[in-house]
Structures are given as structure tokens and as C-alpha cells.
Amino acid sequence: MTREIAIIGDRFMLPDVFRREIEKVCGGDLAIRTKEVPWPDEPMEHGYAVAGMDGLKEYFGDPDEVVDFIGGAEIFVTQLSPMSSQMMDRLPALRLIAVSRGGPVNIDMDAAHRHNITVVNTPGRNASAVAEFTIGAILAETRLIRVGHEALRKGEWRGDLYRADRTGRELNEMTVGVIGYGNIGTRVVRLLRAFGCHVLVCDPYVQLTADDRNAGVELVGFDDLLTRSDVVTLHARVTEETRRIINAEALARMKEGAILVNTARGPLVDYDALYDALASGRIGSAMLETFAVEPAPADWPLLQLPNVTLTPHIAGASVRTVTYAAEQAAEEVRRFIAGLPPLNPC
């Protein structure tokens, strides 16, 4: 029997990569059609902003166009395409949605359960990429890479950065606090250990690995981490418990001159409070990779501060992320066709 598969990729998760990996592991009689949408060159939409899409957090694509493209396909593979309850009503043949993200934020999961549609995701697809990026972000702040770069761009030779009272610090003499010990946080800890720094972890829902414990990593409370860390790096999911976990009170408890790194999610931070802490010098610097509103507004005050490094939410973007996510999605498709249970059901 021919299995009908619809793939909507984009300019990061290329549809041809999905197709190649599915054909590699599935073989057999497949009818695959693909479509590419222009994300990330064009921004995503947010479900709360569009009528009928309130079950979705973020997505890319016109619902009617997505439904028309899927048609009678039994299997749908995508990264960002929306799938609302109303869309599922119009897709009676659909039985599997494979989302190549860490979470199915573009899918109305309650509706998927009601429609008996299995949804799978690709957890950890970019964990290595984000962990590596985080180390680079920390080094950019601790070793004044950004400061030196920006000075040279302006034609200034900052020889004073070699002065003992202004130069950077080595990680091997610092304490780094890691908030969140999941796929990414555990990798960050492993990389930090190689630098010889003392590592603190705050995550009330996990235990440290024996390897990390034996290496001297400490599992501590939130307040303890803030008061002891020279660098605080965020790797928690956004929940009601963690939303704005870095607020004015938390920033006041951090060491004076400490560094904050956020390569996780914008809503973890109260950015107005962070602006005040950075502008006053209470916090030494920050590296921000994600924002509460994306794209960040051109007149956003944090863009104007000299002690902030900013990147446009690219920590998880790597060539390996693309191929790894496609491999995971293809394996889920193979298992579905073979009548096997999914590896990562949502």
C-alpha cells in the first residue's frame, strides 16, 4: 500500500533533507510531496494573535494553504507549520504529525488527542549546538571579546583592557551557575567542567549524574546559586514557575558585576529589571540570545547598552541540528509505518 506523506520544511529544516532521511530508512511504496516556506527570512506568527489559532504558541504558514497541501496524506512532517483544531477537522486521513522541534508548540495538542492523531517531536535535536554556543557566549563576556571587538570597529585600540583592574577572568577561577539540567544544561555542565571552573546546578526536578557529582558539581537551591555564581546561564523551560525567574529580586541577589547568559527563552527574564541592573552597573554584563518579543524592536533599550551582547536566536542553528532532527523525524515515520510505538510521543 502506498503511504502518502506531506512535508513542509523551511530554509533551515530543508524539506529535501526530510525526504532524503525518510526514503533512506523507510523504503517501500511512498508518495512524498514537499513544500518550502520562507522562514527564517520571514518571522513566525504567534497563536494568541490570530483568531482560531489560540491553541498554538508559534508557527509559520497560512492554515488554509497547509490544509490544502496536506490533503489526504496520512503522515505530515514539519518544523513550524500550524495545526489547529479547525485544521484537523478538515484532515480526516491524518494520523501522524512529526514535528522537528524540542516541543510541539505549533500544534494544538488537546485537539490532536481528540482527533486520534499521534504527534511526535525531536527532543535534544539542538542540545549540542546550544551548549557549544553557550560556552562561546560565556567566553565572549568573561574574556572581553565583545568589548575588544566593538572598540576596534570604532578605531579604538583598547590597550587598557590589559590592565589588571579591567581585564577579563579565566573560567578556571570562576563559579558558574547553571539553571536547568535537561538535555542542554547537562551538556553545558560537561563542557564547563573541562575549563576547570566550579559548577553549581539549580533544578529541583533532577539529580546530578554520578559523573558530575564526582567532578565536584553541586546541586543547589536558586538563592544559593545566585549569590555564589560569577556567571549565571539559563537552560530551563518556560513554565508558570520559571516565567521571569530572573526578576528584580533575583538580580539584586546576584554578585555585583556578575554575568547573565540567556540562550534559553526570553520569558525567563524580566528585561526591564535587567536593563536597570545593567545600566546601573549592578550586573557586569549580559549575553542575550532570546527575547520576549522576536524580532526584538529596533528601539529596544537593551540594544543601546554597551555591556550587552545580543544575537538573533541562533544558538540552536547548526548544520548538524538539521540532519539530526530529520533523522529523528524519519525514524518516527518508519516506526509508524511498521506499526511500532513512537519513540517520542507528545
d(CA 199, CA 94): 47
Catalytic residue of the set 313, 327, 331, 332: 313
Q: Which residues contact 60 (CB under 8 A, 6 or more apart)?
A: 10, 37, 39, 42, 44, 45, 80, 81, 82, 106
Following DSSP, what letter does each residue of 248-304 receive, concatenated? HHHHHHSPTT-EEEE-S-GGGB-HHHHHHHHHHTSS-EEEE---SSSSPPTT-GGGG
**C-alpha cell of 91?**
484532515
Count of CA atoms in the C-beta half-sphere (13 A) of 331:
13
- First CA to last CA across the chain, in angstroms? 27
Q: Please say whether the beta carbons of 87 and 283 come within 8 A.
A: no
Q: Is position 265 annotated as part of the catalytic site?
A: yes
d(CA 153, CA 206): 44
Catalytic residue of the set 115, 158, 294, 335: 294
R_g over Cα of the chain: 22
Task: Report CA 49 to chain centroid distance, whole Å.
Answer: 22
Q: What is the DSSP letter of 305?
A: -
Q: Give the H or E element holding residue 325.
A: helix 319-338
Task: Report CA 298 to chain centroid distance, whole Å.
Answer: 22
Q: Can you say whether the dihedral through the CA atoms of 175, 176, 177, 181 is positive or negative? A: negative
Q: Which residues make beta-bridge pairs with 58? A: 46
127-142 and 319-338 helices, crossing angle to 10°: 160
Catalytic residue of the set 265, 289, 327, 331: 265
Catalytic residues: 265, 294, 313
